[in-house]
Amino acid sequence: MRSQILEKLEAGRVRYGRFASAPGSGPCGLFFVQGPCGCELKISGLVRPGWEQVSVSTPRRCPNWEEMSFVKDLFWDEEECAMQLHPPHSRYVNNSRYCLHLWKPTDRDIPMPPASFVGIIGLGPSEAAMLFTQMSAIS
């Protein structure tokens, strides 16, 4: 499965022009890949000291959760953690209206809260919606 994902990324690599990178350059470069929602995603991958970073944009809107998850799995293993950051306003850099970023430090693990802080473990979206509908009917 991982080789198919890497082939999809490699097939979208920009190989000519100002932003070209050589085939087989790994995650660094500019890529155009068809996303899971039917929109072409412009993806830029960089490795810098201490960080791996991926920028994701579409022509007319910010990428959605499904697209960002898709890109995360193109660049990292499904069991690795990557993050989006919301920095202080004083540190904002906004060069593109419809671009979001994924980050992964290379020298440490990303701390994560317990899964139980996020929701009910083992409960899918349909079951959760039904449970919360029942709870709101009681109150």
Using one digit for the tens of pLDDT, what is the confidence trace for 66-112? 999 999 999 999 999 999 999 999 999 989 999 999 999 999 999 99
Residue 101: Cβ-neighbour burial (10 angstroms; 0-12, 13-18, 19+)? middle
Instruction: Give the tens place of pLDDT for each residue, 32-50.
Output: 999 999 999 999 999 999 9
Domain boundaries, the chain: 2-112
Task: Name the pTM for this structure.
Answer: 0.84
Q: Is the pLDDT of residue 1 over 50?
A: no
As a whole-number percent, the residues of the chain with pLDDT over 90 amount to 71
Q: What is the pLDDT of residue 67?
A: 97
Distance CA 2, CA 74 (A): 8
Residue 39 CB neighbour total at 10 angstroms? 14
The architecture (CATH level 2) of 2-112 comes to 3-Layer(aba) Sandwich (3.40)
**The two three-digit tokens of residue 129, written as one number:** 């919606």
Q: Which residue has the tokens 């991958």?
A: 45
Span 98-127, average pLDDT: 92
